[in-house]
Amino acid sequence: MKADKTLDCMGLYCPMPIFKTAQKMKELKAGEVLEIVADDKGIKKDMPAWCSSTGNECLGLEEKDGEFHVFVKKKP
Amino acid sequence: MADKEKLTLVVFSGDFDKALAAFIIATTAASMDMEVTMFFTFWGLNIVKKNEGKIKSKGILRKMLNTINRGGTKRLTLSKFNMMGAGTWMMKQLMKDIKHPTIDELITMAHDMGVKMIACTTSCGVMGLPEDSFRTEVESLAGAAYFLEEARNSKTTLFI
Which amino acid belongs to residue B134? F
Pairing of strands B116-120, B35-40: parallel
pLDDT in 10s for each residue of chain B, 160 residues = 468 999 999 999 999 999 999 999 999 999 999 999 999 999 999 999 999 999 999 999 999 999 999 999 999 999 999 999 999 999 999 999 999 999 999 999 999 999 999 999 999 999 999 999 999 999 999 999 999 999 999 999 999 9
Residue B92 domain-assigned (yes or no): no
**B32 contact residues in A (CB cutoff 8 A):** 18, 22, 49-50, 53-54
Residue B136 domain-assigned (yes or no): yes
Q: How far apart are CA B86 and CA B77, in angstroms?
A: 10
Which amino acid belongs to residue B129? L
pTM to 2 decimal places: 0.90
Quote the number of domains for chain B.
1
Q: Which element (helix H / strand E) includes B8?
A: strand B6-11
Residue B83 domain-assigned (yes or no): no
A12-30: pLDDT as tens digits? 988 899 999 999 999 999 9
Partner residue facing A11 (CB), from B28, B32, B99: B99
Residue B1 domain-assigned (yes or no): no
Ramachandran area for residue B149 (φ above 0: left; ψ -120 to 50: alpha; else beta): alpha
- Burial (Cβ within 10 Å: 0-12, 13-18, ≥19) of residue B37: buried
| Residue A14 appears among annotated catalytic residues | yes
**CATH number for the domain including B122?**
3.40.1260.10
Q: What is the ipTM of this complex?
A: 0.79
